[in-house]
């Protein structure tokens, strides 16, 4: 197990990184503004689940395999970007987002969770982060590296839920205020869809890596 000082140092470093908005945070903020607090918080849980996938992959060495191949990195990155753009197009089309029935609300939250998982799993920068960041806090003298990475990864995900949850709550309050403005209420699908598409385009055009 990592020492208490390692936990503290890792936690401070992780918080410093988590407060900087990335694709997952922007996805959560967009969901929160467009659909409200519940959808935003469920998106946070989806993103956290995606982070757990990356933690497990880093512990098992799969992240290293992804980072070793420029083709694999680009393929995953473009697939993630395409998914974000698809979300934007789907939002613009407005398929069942405003159905007020209880069943539609449950489906909407389930969709927000699933999409949050996919958005983070298909973010190769998250894999790169766990591959480059976690090993810096692993002590070879404290036992096997994989269990240490899992424990530290779980701490990171917990801090991420708190950080992303704060973004979701603030964004949902902002969204609630914006939804009282007629102009935004009329155009919120366009705004949200445009944000997804822009985020997907930025993800596709940045972060190229070379061997």
pLDDT in tens, 104-157: 566 688 888 998 998 888 876 677 777 777 777 777 666 677 788 888 889 999
Task: Identify whether 28 is part of a domain.
Answer: yes
Structure tokens at 209: 């890596």
Task: Identify whether 171 is part of a domain.
Answer: yes
Helical axes 102-121 vs 37-60, angle rounded to 10°: 30
Helical axes 102-121 vs 70-93, angle rounded to 10°: 160
Cα gap 147→59, rounded to integer Å: 7
Q: What does the pLDDT read at residue 96?
A: 43
Cα gap 120→52, rounded to integer Å: 10
Task: Identify whether 82 is part of a domain.
Answer: yes
Task: Identify whether 4 is part of a domain.
Answer: no
Contact 189, 94 (CB under 8 A): yes
Task: Identify whether 2 is part of a domain.
Answer: no
The number of domains in the chain is 1
Task: Identify whether 7 is part of a domain.
Answer: no
Task: Identify whether 210 is part of a domain.
Answer: no
Give 167's contacts (C-beta < 8 A, 6+ positions apart).
21, 25, 28, 29, 32, 40
Q: What does the pLDDT read at residue 66?
A: 52
Task: Identify whether 8 is part of a domain.
Answer: no
- Global pTM value: 0.70
Residue 169 clears pLDDT 50, i.e. is over it: yes
From 54, 170, 59, select the one nearest 117 (Cα to Cα): 54
Our measurement of the distance from residue 23's CA atom to the centroid of its chain's CA atoms, rounded to an integer in Å, reads 6
Cα gap 64→4, rounded to integer Å: 27
Q: pLDDT by residue (tens digit) across 41-97? A: 999 999 999 999 888 887 776 655 555 566 666 666 677 677 778 777 877 776 544
Residue 93 lies in domain: 23-205
């Amino acid at each position: 197990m990592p020492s208490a000082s390692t936990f503290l140092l890792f936690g401070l470093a992780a918080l410093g990184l988590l407060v900087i908005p990335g694709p997952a945070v922007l996805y959560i903020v967009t969901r929160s503004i467009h659909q409200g607090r519940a959808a935003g918080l469920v998106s946070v849980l989806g993103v956290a689940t995606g982070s757990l996938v990356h933690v497990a992959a880093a512990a098992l060495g799969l992240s290293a395999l992804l980072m070793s191949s420029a083709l694999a990195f680009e393929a995953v990155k473009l697939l993630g970007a395409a998914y974000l753009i698809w979300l934007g197009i789907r939002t613009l089309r407005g398929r069942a987002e405003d159905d007020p029935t209880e069943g539609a609300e449950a489906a909407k939250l389930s969709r927000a969770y699933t999409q949050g998982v996919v958005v983070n799993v298909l973010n190769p920068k998250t894999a790169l982060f766990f591959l480059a960041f976690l090993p810096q806090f692993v002590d070879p003298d404290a036992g096997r590296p994989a269990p240490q990475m899992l424990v530290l990864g779980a701490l990171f995900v917990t801090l991420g839920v708190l950080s992303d949850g704060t973004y979701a709550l603030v964004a949902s309050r902002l969204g609630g205020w914006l939804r009282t403005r007629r102009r935004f209420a009329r155009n919120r699908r366009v705004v949200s869809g445009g944000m997804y598409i822009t985020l997907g385009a930025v993800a596709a055009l940045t972060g190229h890596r070379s061997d």
